[in-house]
Amino acid sequence: MERYKVAVRAAILWLHPNISQQELEIELAWTMREIRINRNGNLIWRLFPLGVKLFESLGEAQNWRCCYCHCPTTEFGRKRATIEHYVRLVDGGLDHPENMLMACYGCNRELGFLLEWGSLKVR
C-alpha cells in the first residue's frame, strides 16, 4: 500500500500544485480511504473536485467514450470512468495529461483516478 501512497501523493501534488502540507496530508488520508481495486486487479482512487477539470478535457477530447471498449462513459448513472495512462507508469510513462486517456472502470489497466459521474457536472 505504501507504493500506492507515493503515487497518490504525486497525483495530488500535480493536481493541486499550491496545496499546503497540511491540506496535502488531509487529502492523502481521505484518498487512501477511498481507493479500490477494479476487475483487472488495478488500484483506482477517487478524483478530487479540482481534478474534474482534467477529466472534462479528456472527456471532450474522446467524445466521452472509453479509449478501449468505446462504451459511453456518461450514459449510465452507475458507469464510472477513470484516467488511464497511455504509456503505463510501470513502463516508465509520465503522470502528465499528455500521457492520459479516459477509460471505463472495467477497462483501466493500472492504478488511476476514479470519478463517479454523479459528482461531475456533465451536460
Which residues form the interface with Zn ion (CB under 5 A)?
66, 68-69, 104, 107
Cβ count near 23 (within 10 Å): 12
Residue closer to Zn ion by CB (options 27, 110) is: 110
Residue closer to Zn ion by CB (options 47, 103) is: 103
Residue closer to Zn ion by CB (options 49, 72) is: 72
Question: Distance between terminal CA atoms of the chain?
Answer: 36
Q: Which of 118, 91, 103, 112 is nearest to 8 (CA)?
A: 112
**What minimum distance in Å lies between the beta carbon of 1 and Zn ion?**
26
Q: Which of 30, 64, 58 is nearest to 45 (CA)?
A: 30
Residue closer to Zn ion by CB (options 4, 68) is: 68
**What minimum distance in Å lies between the beta carbon of 42 and Zn ion?**
13
The Cα 40–Cα 58 span in angstroms is 22
C-alpha cell at 41: 486487479
**What minimum distance in Å lies between the beta carbon of 115 and Zn ion?**
14
Cβ count near 86 (within 10 Å): 11
**What minimum distance in Å lies between the beta carbon of 116 and Zn ion?**
16
